[in-house]
Amino acid sequence: MSGTMTTMLQRRRPRERGFALLAVFWIILLLSLLCLGYATASRFRAQAALNRKRRLVDRYLYRSAREKGFHEFLKSRANRVLLHKQEEVEAIAEEAVDLWFPRYEPYDYNLDGRQLAVRLLDENGKFSVNDIPISLWEEIFAACGVPPGAEQTGMINSIQDWIDSDDEHRLDGAENDYYQSLEHPYACKNYFIETLEELLLVKGITPELYYGTEEFPGLVSFLSVYGARRKIDVNSAAPAAFRLVAGLPDDVIEEIVKRRREAPLRRLDELSDVVSQENYSQLTRFFTVSTSPVYLSIEVSRKNADGSCGRWRRWIVNTSGR
């Protein structure tokens, strides 16, 4: 009898040892999964914290550059007389007059070892999207590569239909019934354009026409919600805006950009020696010199390693009363 019991115990031990090993294996696997999950969650939390830190640093970096730009604008406005006597002042002080005036070309700014670009733009460097005559619309669309014809007329009239307060169609225009018939319908605004990006909602206005292509500038180079009605500031105008002057050579545009980068153009006739008489008469149709911006656009971008600019962040400041 005792021998039989001993044999049974001996048979059970290997099974018990196998069960114990299996249990240990599952416990180790469970603990490993728990540790892996904890490590992964910790890594994600650390990465999220790092991303929050980077966004916070970028936010204050851009805000600091924005405040720097506005401070420099106020300084240049208060010392505008120095720009009119720049050569005389520089000869007396024996150093360059370093004032940031509104112009399209950005200023370099180093902040805590980070290279930034800051651009100050008089919004009068663009035309008012809500308040320019049809004839000027036609010239802007032509400069953007849309020649006179039914397509151009339809786009211009669709913009007018978007702005006006009624539901009456202009020729080839678009009102509420058109926008409601789209796959993803929306209402025609029938009110002033409040952000320029609204143009992308208007019938016929494509991203290529809005932003421009390698061959043609886009509407964004010519228009602003806060812009001028008939003539735009020659210092703050985008180089592409000079396409309005038909036949103006590229090397002349480059010379204009070079001159205003060195010093603000104080009078349009300062360009009479570089622009031909025929082109100069057209230049005076579209451009002027603005001396006191009401709406100032401050744009900031981080500079890449090759010196190019990244994505621009933009603020509009009402300078009246400041």
Q: What is the CATH number of the domain that holds 264?
A: 1.10.40.60
| 277 falls within a domain | yes
Q: If pLDDT is split at 50, 70 and 90, which confidence band does 279 have?
A: very high
**Structural domain boundaries enclosing 249:** 122-318
Tokens read off for 18: 């196998």
Which pLDDT tens digit goes with each residue over 244-262?
998 899 999 999 999 999 8
| 233 falls within a domain | yes
| 52 falls within a domain | no
Q: Of 114-118, 130-134, 289-293, which gets the smallest average pLDDT?
A: 289-293
DSSP summary character for residue 212: B
Q: Cβ contacts of residue 168 below 8 Å, gap of 6+? A: 175
Between CA 245 and CA 282 the distance in angstroms is 6
Percent of the chain exceeding pLDDT 70 equals 88
Between CA 105 and CA 124 the distance in angstroms is 15
Between CA 161 and CA 169 the distance in angstroms is 7
Q: If pLDDT is split at 50, 70 and 90, which confidence band does 71 have?
A: very high
Rounded mean pLDDT of 217-223? 96
Q: If pLDDT is split at 50, 70 and 90, which confidence band does 113 have?
A: confident
| 238 falls within a domain | yes
Tokens read off for 21: 């090993």
| 232 falls within a domain | yes
| 84 falls within a domain | no
| 256 falls within a domain | yes
- Give the per-residue pLDDT at 92: 60
Q: Of 9-13, 131-135, 194-198, 222-226, which gets the smallest average pLDDT?
A: 9-13
| 155 falls within a domain | yes
- Give the per-residue pLDDT at 294: 92
DSSP summary character for residue 262: H
The secondary structure element, H or E, covering residue 256 is helix 250-262
- Give the per-residue pLDDT at 7: 53
- Give the per-residue pLDDT at 280: 93
Number of domains the chain contains: 1
Between CA 274 and CA 248 the distance in angstroms is 11
- Give the per-residue pLDDT at 23: 74
State the pTM of this model.
0.79
Longest dimension (CA), the chain: 128
Instruction: With a cut of 80, say whether residue 73 has pLDDT above it.
Output: yes
Summary mean pLDDT of the chain: 87
